[in-house]
């Protein structure tokens, strides 16, 4: 069975022209702008922003690297809780990608967890340039209570978000559509959630072109 069939169909709804235009956008220059460890250090931007949120070690930094075709743009660590600030990346002077600190089981103190979560929450509530949050869910484990809490907070803040499943290459063939269906069932219960769930793999590149196209479309760039 081909990899595309094994992992599911991520191409539904996007034309080849949209896929190619998004590829060109993400193949452009992408540079680190700044890292913010406090609200006071947040850098204002005029470009639309797309943020990546999720549990610690869900694969946010790996996904940012896969989208941009770079290995070290966002630092990747096997140890949960590596991203300890909000990191901003300028994509071709047209779009800003935002890597948020992970939530969940990071092996740090309670006070540090609360500091990171407060910073991320404040950013999500008060960022007028934020057009979409990609909420990353590990496809092997599904939506956890900490994810549901984040979804409720995004609903309250009226921030548009979309579930993106990560690591689908590690699922069996029959489990991929089941994981997508289960996540879509959760999304339907949340007012600010986009109804379509995108399965991806940073390791194999599956779903990455479609996610690029989705981001480009929602950002209007």
Note the pLDDT of residue 78.
41
Listed residue (135, 163, 155) closest to 51, CA to CA: 135
Note the pLDDT of residue 7.
42
DSSP string covering 105-131: S-SS-HHHHHHHHHHHHHHHHS-TTEE
Q: What is the CATH number of the domain that holds 22?
A: 3.40.50.300
| Structural domain containing residue 178 | 3-219
How far is Cα of residue 211 from the mean position of the Cα atoms in its chain? Answer: 9
Residues 64 and 99: their CA atoms lie apart, in Å, by 8
DSSP-assigned letter for residue 16: H
- Whether the CB-CB separation of 187 and 181 falls below 8 Å is answered with no
Note the pLDDT of residue 104.
64
Q: What is the pLDDT along the chain (221 residues), one digit of tens a residue?
A: 344 443 444 445 789 999 999 999 999 999 999 888 877 788 788 899 999 999 988 999 899 999 999 876 755 434 444 456 889 999 999 999 999 888 865 544 455 455 556 777 788 887 899 999 999 999 999 999 999 999 998 999 899 999 999 999 999 989 999 999 999 999 999 999 999 999 999 999 999 999 999 999 999 99
**For residue 113, what are its two tokens?**
């967890």
Note the pLDDT of residue 65.
92
Report in angstroms the alpha-carbon separations of 27 from 49, 89, 168, 183: 17, 14, 24, 30
**Domain count of the chain?**
1
Listed residue (180, 144, 159) closest to 54, CA to CA: 144
């Amino acid at each position: 069975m081909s990899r595309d069939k094994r992992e599911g169909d991520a191409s539904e709804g996007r034309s080849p022209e949209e896929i190619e235009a998004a590829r060109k956008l993400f193949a452009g220059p992408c540079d680190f702008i700044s890292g913010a460890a406090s609200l006071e250090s947040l850098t204002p931007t005029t470009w639309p922003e797309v943020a990546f949120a999720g549990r610690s070690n869900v694969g946010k930094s790996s996904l940012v690297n896969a989208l941009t075709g770079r290995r070290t743009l966002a630092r990747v660590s096997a140890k949960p809780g590596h991203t300890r600030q909000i990191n901003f990346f300028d994509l071709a002077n047209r779009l800003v990608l935002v890597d948020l600190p992970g939530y969940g089981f990071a092996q740090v103190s309670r006070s540090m967890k609360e500091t990171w979560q407060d910073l991320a929450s404040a950013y999500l509530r008060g960022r007028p340039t934020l057009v979409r949050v990609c909420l990353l869910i590990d496809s092997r484990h599904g939506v956890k209570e900490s994810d549901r809490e984040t979804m409720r907070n995004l609903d309250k803040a009226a921030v548009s978000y979309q579930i993106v499943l990560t690591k689908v290459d590690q699922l069996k063939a029959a489990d991929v559509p089941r994981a997508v269906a289960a996540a879509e069932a959760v999304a339907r219960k949340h007012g600010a959630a986009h109804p379509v769930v995108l399965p991806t793999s940073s390791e194999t590149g599956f779903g990455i072109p479609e996610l690029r196209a989705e981001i480009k479309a929602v950002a209007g760039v």
